[in-house]
Amino acid sequence: MANATKRTRDFIALEEQYGAHNYHPLDVVVHRAKGSWVYDVEGKKYLDCLAAYSAVNQGHCHPAILKAFQAQAKKVTLTSRAFRNDQLPLLSKKLHDLTGFDLSLPMNSGAEAVETAIKAARKWGYTVKGIPENQAEIICAADNFHGRTTTIISFSTEAQYRAGFGPFTPGFRIVRYGDISALTSAINRNTAAFLVEPIQGEAGIIVPPAGYLREAARLCRENNVLLIADEIQSGLGRSGKLFAYQHEGISPDMVIIGKALGGGYYPISAVLSRKEVLGVFQPGDHGSTFGGNPLAAATALAALDVLQKEKLVDRSARLGEYFIKKLRAIRSPHVKEVRGKGLWIGFVLDMKARPYCEALMKEGILCKETHENVIRFAPPLVITKQEIDWAVRRIERVVSSLD
């Protein structure tokens, strides 16, 4: 912040004075954005290599999504689910056509969709599987990230996410991620579901051993346990497939999506599943005032259209491979590993990544450290090869300055 101008400093001072300090953002004050680029209040431009944690896969302020968003904003934005609207049915159909799942249930944030999946799995456990009342267990993986509600942090293994927030919700068991025998021993007759990220994002883009998800899916099927894939960050093209679980050719019982579903314009999330699972919800069981509102639905429809029309999934696979190859070619004793799938890359250093992110910011690249020593490169999927080359030159420069 030392060489930030007064304009930047003033915004930061206001935020620090009047806002709760539950984040530690980089000291860039964004004013506008377009595609893969964001511009700060000084007019300086940056390549966005975080894409709002993958919520803007379609690129910032995509014109086609803007058009749908504005058109709907003029018609009707909110009806509540007490009445029907003419956008939600189209989104439900689109999600079915795109993913093959029978039903979807719309919510707003990712965490709410995770909560919804947990409620569906528990009710399925009691009413379909026959688990005795209040005995249902859900298995989760260590180092997971599924959101910040009180129930969700109850099965987090991150000390800071829990500290000071107990008492916690019971009914969850933790197993080592990527370890099939741990999962095998955790399953018992009260197990309703296994909730897992096909690739762990916040943990540092951790890709599990090949075959892990396939084996987990088989175990779940054999034991009448629902496999729930949290694809909030990994899904909608980020990993180079529509869903990251497709890398293993499996089909989970429930899939949770969010983030890029709103194209960066609007918070919308959803749970996708089969009739036997989401069918457990009866009118009055569950709900959300804003869930499935027409503005969200129209925006999500456009966001999914962009994903398809611009072939962003293929693009992520192709350019992700290119980006990883270029990053692996950077020779430095400080780079321990470059891992990931699609345009979702963990760049692992042998030192704290935060100062490195600050140095990259000065070079015009915005990214965020995750887990101390990992930098996540996850640009909008509309990024070009030239922009990747531009970024790699700067990343290389900053890495060499570490020596």
Ligand X SMILES: *Cc1c(COP(=O)(O)O)cnc(C)c1O
Residue ranges binding ligand X (CB under 6 A): 53, 109-111, 114, 145-147, 197, 201, 230, 232-233, 258
Contact 110, 147 (CB under 8 A): yes
Q: How far is the CB of 202 from ligand X (least distance, A)?
A: 6
40 catalytic residue (yes or no): no
Distance of CA 336 to the CA centre of its chain: 25
Q: Measured from the CB atom, is 256 or 392 closer to ligand X?
A: 256
Q: How is 333-372 classified by DSSP, letter by letter?
A: TTEEEEEESSS-EEEEESS-SHHHHHHHHHHTEE-EEETT
Q: How far is the CB of 198 from ligand X (least distance, A)?
A: 9
Q: How far is the CB of 133 from ligand X (least distance, A)?
A: 28
Q: Which of 40, 48, 143, 230 is catalytic?
A: 230
Instruction: List beta partners, residue 254.
Output: 228, 273
Q: Which of 123, 241, 259, 341 is catalytic?
A: 259
Q: Measured from the CB atom, is 110 or 320 closer to ligand X?
A: 110
230 catalytic residue (yes or no): yes
C-alpha 297/C-alpha 81 separation (Å) is 13
Q: Measured from the CB atom, is 230 or 369 closer to ligand X?
A: 230
Distance of CA 368 to the CA centre of its chain: 14
Residue nearest to ligand X (CB): 110
Q: How far is the CB of 364 from ligand X (least distance, A)?
A: 26
Q: Are strands 226-230 and 191-196 parallel, antiparallel or unpaired?
A: parallel
What is the H or E stretch that residue 31 is in? Answer: strand 30-34
Instruction: Mention every residue, 6+ apart, whose C-beta is less than 8 A from residue 267.
Output: 108, 109, 258, 296
97 catalytic residue (yes or no): no
Q: Which of 69, 101, 145, 323 is catalytic?
A: 145
Q: Measured from the CB atom, is 2 or 20 closer to ligand X?
A: 20
Q: Measured from the CB atom, is 232 or 296 closer to ligand X?
A: 232
Q: How far is the CB of 140 from ligand X (least distance, A)?
A: 11
Amino acid at 201: G
Catalytic center residues: 145, 230, 259
